[in-house]
Amino acid sequence: MEFKDFRINVESGLKVDRERDMAFLYLLYYIGCRVRALLELRKGTDVTVEENDLVFKLKPLKHGIREVPLRLPLILPHMDQITQYIGTIREGEKLFPFSYTTAWRIVKRIFPEKYTHYFRLNRCTQFLDDPEATLPEIKTWFGWKRAETVTAYIGSSPRHIKKGSQRLVKETIG
């Protein structure tokens, strides 16, 4: 999902708990983490503002490893609203004090055809669509131990389909 399409859906679909749900959806889109990891984040211990970044110490799930925190530049769209929302949360409290079921409902309300893990797949696919992205960068971002984990996402990249089409044209037409 391209950012412009994501943004249109979010901005036209939010109604209840607008600030909270907007922050949740944008962070899910930007980070591409597991929803359960996002739901565990606490202000101050797991999420801080450092210099020009919002810094996340995400706990790795499913046997992953995370040696360095993720950093989202504050210049990204809607980061001012996200940091404003985080400012309403008390130190040490969860950013999103709701259940996985509520998270699922938020996603389904805005994106009826999607599922929560879709945004993890989407983030990885978006990264893989950049020909300059490296395997260590992808592994580090997602907290994956093994390169084989990335393999599951490689076939989803539109860039690879385009390259395949170009090869087919070159092979058949010249």
Share of the chain above pLDDT 70, in %: 92
When the pLDDT of each residue in the chain is averaged and rounded to a whole number, the result is 86
Enumerate the domain spans of the chain.
Answer: 3-172
Report the alpha-carbon distance of residue 31 to residue 96 in Å, rounded.
15
CB count within 10 Å of CB 50 equals 10
Closest listed residue to residue 114, CA positions, set 140, 106, 59, 69: 106
pLDDT confidence tier of residue 68, bands split at 50, 70 and 90: confident
Report the alpha-carbon distance of residue 74 to residue 51 in Å, rounded.
9
* 91-148 residue pLDDT tens: 999 999 999 999 999 999 999 999 888 998 889 888 888 888 888 888 888 888 777 7
CATH topology of domain 3-172: hpI Integrase; Chain A (1.10.443)
Residue 158: pLDDT above 70?
no
